[in-house]
C-alpha cells in the first residue's frame, strides 16, 4: 500500500486526472464539487493527450493543473502514448502520494492511469463507468480502455441505470456501483449560464447565425478512428448531398486529426452553405448545438449533450455505448452510411412530427447534480 497522501491539514488527497477535451469538460465539475466540500486536498494532473483541445477547457474553467505531463507528440501511436502515460503518470503518483485517484470514461489516459494506480495499490474511482457497446473494436480503442478500467476501479460512478446494469452483469459488487447521472450535464448547465450572462462568449458562432439566417442548421462532428477511411468518405458524400438543399446550412468544426481534414476539406470546401471550422472552444461548441436543428455525430458525449438542448441526434456509428438515448428516442443510429445519413436527416428536416418526436423526448442522462453526488460518495468512502 502506498503511503497516505500528505494533503493540507491532514485532508485526504484526491488526484483527478484527464487528458482530452471531453474528459476535461466532464471532470472540471467534479473538481469543483470535491473542492466545495472543503474536506479534500484535490490535485489535478493532466496528461495533455490532446494538447490544444484540452487547454481551451482548462481556460474556461479557470482550472490550473497541479501537474501537466504534456505527453502529446505528432502522429503518436496508441502503444507509444500508452507507455508514456503509464510511466509518467506513475511518477506523478510517486510524487503526490494520493489516497485516491479519479479517472473518467474511456481514453488511454483513463486506462493507463488506472493501471499505474493498480501497481501502487491506490484506489480508483471511475467516473462515467459501465458504458458498453459489446464490441471491442467499436468504439476502438475506447471499449477496451473502459473495460480494463472497470476491472481496476473500486468505485464505479455509473451515469445511468443501464450502465449500472452492465457493471452488475460483469459481477461488479452492488456496493461499489453508484448511479449519479452524467457530469456532462453539469458542465452544460455551467456553459449555458455563462452564455446567457454574456452572449459575446460565442464569437465563432454569432456570425454564422447571421450568415445562415433562415436556414435549417445541421451541426456535424466526426472523428472516430473506426470511421477513418471509408467511413469518412461516406459521411462527406452525405454532407455534399445535404448541402445541395437551399434551406440547409452545415456547421462542421473539424477535428485536428489529418484523417478527418484530409477527407473533409477537399470534399466540402467551397460550398456556400457549409462552414468548416477549426476546433471550437467549449462555449462556442455549446452555442453551435443550441443554434442547430439537427446534430450529426460519431462522438459519444454529444449524444448526451444535444438532447438536453432539445436537438435530435443522428449517430454515425453502427453501435453505441449510450443506448439510453436510442431507447428514449433522442438519438438514432444511422452508421457511417451516406444513404442512411441522407434519408434520416431529410426525414427530420421535412417531417415535423418526426422531428418533434425526437426533440421532445426525455433526456435520460441527468439533472446537473452528478458531480455533487460523486463528491458525497467519495467523502462517505473515507478516501
Residues serving a catalytic function are 106, 128, 142, 223, 225, 255
- Rounded Cα distance, 231 and 236, in Å: 9
Cell numbers of 138, please?
467499436
Query: Could you tell me if 203 and 235 are in contact, meaning their C-beta atoms sit under 8 angstroms apart?
Result: no
Query: Could you tell me if 354 and 347 are in contact, meaning their C-beta atoms sit under 8 angstroms apart?
Result: yes
Provide the sign of the torsion angle of the four alpha carbons 107, 113, 119, 121, taken in this order.
Answer: negative
- Rounded Cα distance, 273 and 211, in Å: 9
What angle, rounded to 10 degrees, do the helices at 230-242 and 338-350 form?
A: 30
Cell numbers of 197, please?
450572462
Q: What is the CA radius of gyration of the chain?
A: 20
Provide the 3-class DSSP secondary structure of residue 297.
strand
Distance of CA 8 to the CA centre of its chain: 32
Verify cis geometry, omega within 30 degrees of 0, for the bond prior to 124. Answer: no
Q: φ and ψ at 382, to 5 degrees?
A: 90, -10
By DSSP bridging, strand 274-277 and strand 331-333 are unpaired
CA angle in degrees (0–180, nearest 5) for 134-135-141? 120
Q: How many CA atoms lie within 13 A of 295 on its CB side?
A: 32
Provide the 3-class DSSP secondary structure of residue 268.
helix
- Rounded Cα distance, 372 and 31, in Å: 10
Distance of CA 212 to the CA centre of its chain: 27
The CA-atom distances, in angstroms, between 360 and each of 87, 313, 355 are: 47, 12, 8
Q: φ and ψ at 296, to 5 degrees?
A: -110, 125
Amino acid at each position: 500500500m502506498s503511503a497516505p497522501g500528505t494533503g493540507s491539514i491532514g485532508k485526504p488527497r484526491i488526484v483527478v486526472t484527464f487528458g482530452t477535451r471531453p474528459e476535461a469538460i466532464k471532470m472540471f465539475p467534479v473538481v469543483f464539487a470535491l473542492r466545495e466540500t472543503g474536506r479534500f486536498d484535490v490535485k489535478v494532473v493532466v496528461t495533455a493527450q490532446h494538447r490544444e483541445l484540452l487547454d481551451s477547457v482548462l481556460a474556461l474553467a479557470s482550472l490550473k493543473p497541479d501537474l501537466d505531463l504534456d505527453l502529446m507528440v505528432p502522429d503518436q501511436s496508441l502503444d507509444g502514448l500508452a507507455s508514456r502515460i503509464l510511466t509518467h503518470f506513475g511518477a506523478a503518483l510517486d510524487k503526490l502520494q494520493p489516497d485516491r485517484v479519479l479517472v473518467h470514461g474511456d481514453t488511454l489516459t483513463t486506462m493507463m492511469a488506472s493501471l499505474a494506480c493498480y501497481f501502487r495499490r491506490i484506489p480508483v474511482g471511475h467516473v462515467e463507468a459501465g458504458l458498453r457497446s459489446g464490441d471491442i473494436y467499436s468504439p476502438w480503442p475506447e471499449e477496451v480502455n473502459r473495460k480494463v478500467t472497470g476491472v481496476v476501479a473500486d468505485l464505479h460512478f455509473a451515469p445511468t441505470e443501464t450502465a449500472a446494469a452492465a457493471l452488475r452483469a460483469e459481477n461488479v459488487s452492488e456496493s461499489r456501483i453508484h448511479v449519479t447521472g452524467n457530469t456532462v450535464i453539469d458542465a452544460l448547465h455551467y456553459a449555458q449560464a455563462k452564455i446567457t450572462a454574456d452572449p459575446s462568449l460565442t464569437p465563432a458562432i454569432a456570425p454564422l447565425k447571421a450568415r445562415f439566417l433562415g436556414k435549417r442548421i445541421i451541426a456535424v462532428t466526426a472523428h472516430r478512428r473506426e470511421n477513418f477511411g471509408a467511413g469518412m468518405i461516406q459521411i462527406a458524400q452525405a454532407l455534399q448531398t445535404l448541402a445541395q438543399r437551399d434551406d440547409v446550412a452545415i456547421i462542421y468544426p473539424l477535428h485536428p486529426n489529418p484523417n478527418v481534414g484530409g477527407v473533409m476539406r477537399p470534399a466540402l470546401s467551397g460550398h456556400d452553405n457549409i462552414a468548416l471550422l477549426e476546433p471550437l472552444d467549449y462555449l462556442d461548441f455549446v452555442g453551435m448545438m443550441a443554434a442547430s436543428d439537427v446534430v450529426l455525430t460519431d462522438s459519444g458525449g454529444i449524444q448526451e449533450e444535444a438532447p438536453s438542448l432539445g436537438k435530435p441526434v443522428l449517430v454515425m456509428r453502427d453501435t453505441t455505448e449510450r443506448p439510453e438515448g436510442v431507447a428514449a428516442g433522442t438519438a438514432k443510429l444511422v452508421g457511417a452510411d451516406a444513404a442512411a445519413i441522407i434519408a434520416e436527416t431529410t426525414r427530420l428536416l421535412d417531417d415535423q412530427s418526426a422531428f418533434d418526436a425526437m426533440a421532445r423526448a426525455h433526456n435520460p442522462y441527468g439533472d446537473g447534480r452528478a458531480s455533487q453526488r460523486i463528491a458525497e460518495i467519495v467523502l462517505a468512502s473515507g478516501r
